[in-house]
């Protein structure tokens, strides 16, 4: 091969590389702005202050009737701090909490209809409330319940009002007593 043709090949390769890199940069600049905004917001979003108390146990008693028979469930709601979570393009950072039950149950089950359907007492998102991060909201006693598929990770698939709970499933929720939320400090 002659020197002139080697030089022409090198120039052609450089031209192609410069063109490809330029197009990639332009694509990232215009098409990737959402990604960059997403990452920038995530890195610059203010982090919430961490709780001083990061673990709590809240004993509770649920009393309900199933086909006229009174049933009492006693258990303990366990709440643990789980770091920082983000909502909506990283623009809202919040403290995350995990909740579980001392019994090891996934839910406070009122009735197991079959292997794909359980009716349970709703306790979702209560960990932040009981750990003193309720933000002025109050979780109150509910006469409603929820239906879930125990084979999925969905917490609720549907809400069941008190009237339907009684007429369809013979369940009437009588009382729910749980320890008061703690007073926590955040820094």
Helices marked H in 46-176 — which ranges? Answer: 127-130, 162-169
* Range with the poorest average pLDDT among 31-35, 70-74, 132-136, 183-187: 31-35
- pLDDT, greater one: 26 or 178: 178
pLDDT tens, position by position, 97-113: 999 999 999 889 999 99
User: Would the pLDDT of 31 be above 90?
Assistant: no
**Distance from C-alpha of 118 to C-alpha of 148, rounded to nearest angstrom:** 5
Residue 131's pLDDT band (boundaries 50, 70, 90)? very high
What are the structural domain ranges in the chain?
3-44, 55-178
| C-alpha dist (Å) from residue 66 to 94, 160, 173, 174 | 39, 15, 9, 11
The model carries a pTM of 0.73
For residue 155, the model assigns a pLDDT of 55
- pLDDT, greater one: 174 or 91: 174
What percent of the chain clears pLDDT 90, i.e. is strictly above it?
A: 42
């Amino acid at each position: 091969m002659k020197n002139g043709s080697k030089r022409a090949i090198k120039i052609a390769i450089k031209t192609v590389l410069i063109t490809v890199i330029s197009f990639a940069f332009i694509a990232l600049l215009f098409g990737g702005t959402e990604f960059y905004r997403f990452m920038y917001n995530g890195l610059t979003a203010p982090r919430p202050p961490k709780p001083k108390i990061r673990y709590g146990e809240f004993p509770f008693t649920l009393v309900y009737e199933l086909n006229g028979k009174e049933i009492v469930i006693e258990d303990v709601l366990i709440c643990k701090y789980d770091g920082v979570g983000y909502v909506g393009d990283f623009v809202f950072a919040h403290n995350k909490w995990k909740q579980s039950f001392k019994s090891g149950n996934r839910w406070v089950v009122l009735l197991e209809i079959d292997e794909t359907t359980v009716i349970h007492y709703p306790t979702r998102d209560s960990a932040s409330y009981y750990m003193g991060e309720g933000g002025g909201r109050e979780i109150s006693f509910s006469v409603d319940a929820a239906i879930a598929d125990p084979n999925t990770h969905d917490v609720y698939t549907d809400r069941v009002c008190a009237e339907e709970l009684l007429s369809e499933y013979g369940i009437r929720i009588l009382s729910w007593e749980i320890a008061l939320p703690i007073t926590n400090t955040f820094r």
